Structure 1
């Protein structure tokens, strides 16, 4: 085993890597769900990947989960903005700061959480379940 492969990754790095892989696997040219605008989706997807690069480990350390960051409503997807995660709305701005309860964007907006996170699932799970229903 090479020394590079033997380098241990922290649990936060592993989790962020898993989330990155899930977002990266979403087709940038196929609208993932209702509420996502197809002409903005490629940049929105890239913004989520950029968020993970810049803030992923910090977010995990602060207790943010896949649902709190990338959640969409399990039935209405992004049409229910109150059920969407904070990183799902990075585009067209970037994250400026975050704490355990808020994400502050460079444009002055603040994500203060979801009204009912139990109604949400990670975006990639929504996409998989929609594909399964479509057959």
Structure 2
């Protein structure tokens, strides 16, 4: 008897890692002290949706993990200037381009040269658990 073949993951390895790492964060438990539960639940949903719908394209266009999911290494989302595009509001993306992610009438832009670069929010959460 032949077993059915498992479908391969449509996401490239980097986006599959985003899915795995982000999926380990609970939507009901904010990883950042000053990020409320309701706001975090919206961000979690928006990021999960982004990874599934635009993850492959984000990798192809050269978006990096910190540009998308970065937060300040010590202050998390409290320092918005360090946050990646997907960490700044919880709105679902409707498109992606080489320089920006589209959120309806608002666009999130890539980090520019010299801008601070954060760490992925899942690394921030892991550090907070150890502290």
Alignment of 1:1-135 (within 5 A): 4-5=5-6, 13-89=12-88, 91=90, 93-106=91-104, 108-114=105-111, 115-117=115-117, 120-133=118-131
The normalised TM-score by structure 2 is: 0.84
Contact kept in structure 2, 1:48 and 1:90, CA below 8 Å: no
Contact kept in structure 2, 1:35 and 1:79, CA below 8 Å: yes
RMSD: 2.1
Contact kept in structure 2, 1:77 and 1:126, CA below 8 Å: yes
Greater helix proportion: 1
1:42-67 residue CA offsets vs partner (Å, 9 max, x unmatched): 23211110001110000000001111
| Structure 2, unpaired ranges of 5+ | none
Number of matched residues? 127
CA distance in 2, matches of 1:3, 1:66: 34
Contact kept in structure 1, 2:71 and 2:82, CA below 8 Å: yes
1:18-55 residue CA offsets vs partner (Å, 9 max, x unmatched): 11111111122211113422122223211110001110
| Structure 1, unpaired ranges of 5+ | none
Contact kept in structure 1, 2:80 and 2:88, CA below 8 Å: no
Q: Which runs of 4+ in 1 moved over 6 A?
A: none
The structural deviation recorded for 1:8 is 5.8
- Cα gap change, 1:35/1:64 in structure 2, threshold over 3 Å: closer, same or farther? farther
